Amino acid sequence: MRGSRGSLHRSMERSQCLVTLCVSIFTVGLSGPELRGQEPPPGTQPSVAAPVPPTSSTPAVPGEFGPTRLLLAPTGRSMPSGRGAVGLTEIGIPWCEWGLTRRVSVLAGAAVPLGVLGISPKIQVYGGRRAQAALGVVASFDDGGFGGIAYGVVTLGAADAGVTLGYGYGFGQLADSGGSRGVLFLGGEKAIGRHLRLIVEGYVGGAAMGLPDATFLGGLRFGSGRWSVDVGVVVPVYETGSGTPVPLLTIGWAF
């Protein structure tokens, strides 16, 4: 039985990994790139080692307190009010995020190859100088019905480095397979100069959503002006070993 299960996993590695990529985007809420990369407007440029948290009297600039997402997973940081971003992940997953208030944002997107539409509101419940926390719900729609995931995420650290821990729980059609509906994700990011950031993240669980036993991602983010480009790799892991790595590419433009 164990051998047959391993063979089945091996034969479906590529398709499952691509599904993992799409599901991750819509279940843990892909947020927009750092506004203007890591370059706040003139006159608001803070020291990277001493980020300035947004307040009612201080304009929120993501470059001041770090990115609102890792490669796929959200962080506890929020998109500033009135700001937004559009982007394309791989070649068939366009998305757009808009900051409704200083703590509330909404993302919408589509996994075109799968015929899936998604919408994801995110609310920051705590925004401190070195700690941020947020809650979100992602809803996905296709011809087969409705499903999604509710998640919570906490980010600790400053603008130049941070650690993010989160947990999501699937519901509806998205979590209709056997196994756990919960998925734990952990990630970290470290700025390397003004235009480059190293990012790693991993997921464990989520078998009911079609995810492998574990999924690991690693890559680099290049930021310049309003543009950002993420280049990375997704590696699924099964009980029989690592699967086939799949490249990850995201291009974003902030407004």
* Cα distances (angstroms) measured from residue 217 to each of 43, 89, 134, 176, 231: 36, 14, 22, 25, 10
Looking at residue 11, its pLDDT comes to: 38
Looking at residue 138, its pLDDT comes to: 87
Pairing of strands 145-157, 84-89: unpaired
- Domains of the chain, by residue range, sit at 2-254
Q: What DSSP letter does each residue of 93-105 carry, written as one string?
A: EEEEEEESSSSEE
Name the fold adopted by 2-254: Porin (2.40.160)
- Ordered per-residue pLDDT tens for the chain, 255 residues: 444 444 444 434 444 444 444 444 443 333 334 433 333 333 333 333 333 333 333 333 334 446 888 998 889 998 889 999 999 998 888 999 999 999 999 999 998 888 889 999 999 999 998 999 999 998 888 877 888 889 999 999 987 899 999 999 988 877 777 788 999 999 999 999 889 999 999 999 988 888 889 999 999 999 998 999 999 999 999 888 778 899 999 999 998
pTM: 0.76
Rounded to a whole number, what is the distance in angstroms from the first to the last CA of the chain?
A: 53
